[in-house]
Homo-oligomer: A and B are copies of this chain.
């Protein structure tokens, strides 16, 4: 029998991606959809690509009936999530897609997000949702914090290398190229087609991007010492995709072998043959992440490149993967569709 789930904030891109994925998932039934400004509308009006689906109408969170609901996906804006989740019944499991519960340290949260956390008890309870590295904790969790999409990409490239001690921890540069859907459906000048198409640029440069909080927390924990990477994201004229080019000091072959071993049994993390590097077009619309390694002509240096779809593996696909674990389903359910190319 299918589990009833609800999606809070269903009118954004990650909400829509959740509906798309769950529509093809036999184990889940969408029992409720909330959206603030668009409450009262049908999903088909907000997202006409869902016309053929039989979906509940959008309602406000207050009007959402959660009786019988086993799990809630919370795709609300950052800072809104914490208050809303604090108010949910304790017997409902929660996968949060916002940034609110990614950082375990309240001080780190306040430093990166500019305000004190409103639900520090929940913050303690939340499990970091990078599935492949927190699988057991996620399976037993009540509240899972979806990772940043950029943060996920960088970690897939680096975690096994830091854990194995095969790279220099003081010279890590992550140059990341993000497609525009990661910025959400917000109305901003630089997200207009006329501005972005045929133009690309850095954003949040200089170590100011909030996903650095996740890198700091996770990489330092793995290394057992403070690790501070350099990280510069770029906005690219494409709709879906993240490509992280990671510059490291270490032996390229050893790096490749380490990643290959770490991900040998992972259903969604694909290590390419040595020297092959991934492209975003080969993961689009899917939950797969492709990772490649190449040496450099400068001795002792290498690059690791990871590519994934920010809306799927970087966000809603990850959320579903975690939800599967939390409800005792097979982890890959509803997530194995092949990428859409071209």
Which A residues are closer than 8 A to B by beta carbons? 13, 16, 19-20, 23-24, 47-53, 171, 173, 175, 177, 180-181, 185, 187-189, 191-202, 205-208, 212, 228-230, 232, 234, 236-241, 243, 245, 247, 267-268, 270, 272, 275, 277-286, 288, 290, 294-298, 301, 303, 305, 307, 336-342
Q: CB distance B232 to A245 under 8 Å?
A: yes
Contact A230 B197 (CB under 8 A): no
Give Cα distance in the complex from A288 to B283, angstroms.
22
Q: Do A200 and B238 touch across chains, with their CB atoms under 8 A apart?
A: yes
> In the complex, which residues of chain B have a beta carbon less than 8 angstroms from the beta carbon of A295?
206-207
Q: B residues within 8 A CB of A188?
A: 187
Q: Are A194 and B200 in contact (CB under 8 A)?
A: no
A297-B51 contact, Cβ under 8 Å, with A185-B189, A340-B285? no
A201 CA to B177 CA in the complex, in Å?
9
B193 and A236 form a contact (CB under 8 A)? no
Given contacts A193-B195, A237-B237, 20 further A-B contacts (CB under 8 A): A20-B341, A24-B338, A49-B339, A50-B338, A53-B338, A175-B245, A177-B236, A181-B342, A193-B237, A193-B239, A198-B239, A199-B282, A199-B284, A201-B277, A201-B278, A201-B280, A207-B296, A230-B247, A234-B245, A237-B238
| 24 A-B residue pairs with CB within 8 Å | A13-B342, A20-B339, A24-B338, A51-B288, A171-B171, A177-B200, A181-B342, A187-B189, A193-B193, A193-B237, A193-B239, A197-B197, A197-B239, A199-B282, A201-B280, A201-B281, A201-B307, A202-B305, A205-B294, A206-B294, A207-B298, A230-B296, A232-B247, A337-B337
